[in-house]
Structures are given as structure tokens and as C-alpha cells.
A and B are shown apart, each in its own frame.
Chain A
Amino acid sequence: MDYNVIINNLPLYLNGLLVTIQLVLIALVSGFGLAVPLALMAVSKNSFLRYPAKAYIYFFRGTPLLVQMFLLYYGMGQF
């Protein structure tokens, strides 16, 4: 195996790493921002608040991430 390829392309990897870290942080913050209100909705006594939250949780936990991403990215082209 040619290890020089890896070393020569190190800047490329580092750029990618930066994007990865960015994605992690943005997803973490926005996920937290969504999770707190949704958690409050899910334990609410009002069923108009509770059921949408439960449906949201059920859908996103029960379907693969890849399919969700395809649905959003490729799927939006349909409209």
C-alpha cells in the first residue's frame, strides 16, 4: 500500500475534519434547541401538544438516518 498518498493529501483530510467538527457542533446545538421544547411537549397534559411530539419522536427514531437525509435532500427536488 502507498502511504505517501495519505501524507500528500493531509490538508484535504484536515479540511474535511473541520467540516465534520462544524457539523457536529451545529447539529448538537440545534438538536438541543429542538429537544428541550419537544421533551416538554411530550410530557405535557395537553394532548394537542403531546401527540405531535410523540409522532415526531416515533418517526425520527424509527427510520434510518440515510433515508431521512435522502428524503430531505433528493426528495425536496420533487416540489
Chain B
Amino acid sequence: MILEGMALTIEVALLSLFISVILGLFGAIAKLSKSRIARSAATVYTTLIRGIPDLVLMTIIFYGGQIIVNNIGDSLGWDYIDISPFVAGTLTIGFIFGAYMTETFRGGILAVSSGEIEAALAFGMSGWKVFFRITLPLMVRHALPGFGNNWMVLAKTTALVSVIGLHDMVYNAGVAGGATRQPFTFFLVVALMFLCITGLSDLGLRWANRRYSVGVRKV
């Protein structure tokens, strides 16, 4: 049962990581763009998200989002739409960490030396081509430590989805612990499972860090 929950935990974590990376890239581009509207929109996004606790955001999106979607749906004549805890949880975590990723990627992009970008432009590459072929690959090395940190915090944040009723590791441990009157044992197992996830990620990230720093510095 705990293992089933673990599969769900990993699923939520990976999906929200995907969402957060996409949001983070857009956010970073917006923050560094020349357009003042894009810049201030991205600033509002990151300030708002970083200033509100994850749990509060998740409950707002889960309970409030349900009401808003159905209010809109009612006026458009749709049927009742049920927002599952899975969708709400994954979207919220992705949305929250998109803000953190924005800051990480922004720092990474800024760290890419402007000479590289000028050289690419001098070769006649278009703006998007420069971004995807030069800036993005070069930025990875600078963004990786922050990215790894974000990923591990994200993985731990998925524990919150148990609060909105998703049957993840933590939820299952609560049920099993209550039924067997051994909550300590069950929660300890969950804690160790999370330790496995974060510990393995740490090893993987160190390896990735070494790979991306080849030729730059010895790690």
C-alpha cells in the first residue's frame, strides 16, 4: 500500500516538475524581456507565489478552483466539472515551483556570457535559435544546483497532496497507521522512502553537475 502511494507520489512529483520547468522557462524569458508588461507580470507571479504558503495555495486552488470552474461552466451551460485532487495537486505544485524555477533559470541565463550570445547573433542566428542552441545549453550548468534544490523541495512538497485527499504515501500511511495503531512505524517508513527519493536525486544531480562542468572546473 505504501509502495502504491509511492508510485503516485513520484507521478505527481514528475508531472509537476514538468509543468514547473515550462513555467519557469517562460517566466525567466518574461523577466528578462524588454517588454515592461511581460516583466511586471512575471514579477507579480513570482512575488505572489513565493509569499503564500504551499498549503494555502493548494486548498485555494482545490476548493476555490472547483467553484470558479463550475461558475464559469454554469454560465456557459456545461455539465458539472469535477476537479480531481490529482489535477489540483499537480497543477498547484507545478505552479508554485514554476515561480522558483523562474528565479533559478533567470540567474542561469544571466550567467551566460554575453560574448557567446553576440557571437551567435553575428553568425546570423535568429533570436529563438540563439536561445535554444546557445543560451539554453550554456545556462544548464549555472542553473543546475538551484534546479536540483528546487526538485528536492518539490518532491517533499508532494506530501501535501495527502491533505486534499489524494491517496499518496502519506495518506496511505495515515490510514494504515490508524487501523493498526502503529502510526509511528508507518510514518517512519514514509520518511525513509522520501529520504530514498531525495538521497538518490542528490547522487544523480551530483553526477549531472560533474557532466555539465566538464572543461570548466573540477568538482
Contacts and interface: CB of A to CB of B under 8 A. Distances in A.
A68 B174 contact: no
Nearest to A66: B159
A71 B187 contact: yes
B194 A75 contact: no
A79 B184 contact: yes
Interface in B181-201: 181-185, 187-188, 190-191, 194-195, 198-199
Interface residues of B, number: 25
Contact of A63 (B162, B173, B181, B194): B194
A67 B184 contact: no
B156 A65 contact: yes
Interface string A15-52: 00000000000000000000000000000000000000
User: Which of A61, A62, A76 has the most chain B CB atoms closer than 10 A to its own CB?
Assistant: A62
B156 A74 contact: no
Contacts of B162: 66
Contact of A64 (B157, B182, B183): B157
B199 A62 contact: yes
Contact of A66 (B160, B177, B182, B199): B160
Size range of the interface on A?
A: 10 to 19
B143 interface: no
B170 interface: yes
A34 to B, nearest CB: 19
Contacts of B187: 67, 70-71, 74-75
Contacts of A64: 156-160, 170, 194
A75 B191 CA distance: 12
Nearest to B191: A63
Contacts of A75: 177, 183-184, 187-188
A78 B182 contact: yes
Contact of B195 (A62, A74, A77, A78): A62
Contacts of B160: 64, 66
Nearest to A74: B183
16 contacts: A61-B198, A62-B156, A62-B194, A63-B191, A66-B162, A66-B170, A67-B159, A67-B190, A67-B194, A71-B191, A74-B174, A74-B184, A75-B183, A75-B187, A77-B181, A77-B184
Q: Lowest 10 A-B CB distances belong to which pairs?
A: A75-B184, A64-B159, A64-B156, A62-B198, A78-B184, A71-B187, A74-B183, A63-B191, A66-B159, A62-B195
Given A59-B191, A67-B170, A75-B183, 17 more contacts: A58-B199, A62-B198, A63-B156, A63-B195, A64-B170, A65-B159, A66-B162, A67-B159, A67-B187, A70-B173, A74-B183, A74-B184, A75-B184, A75-B188, A77-B183, A77-B184, A78-B181
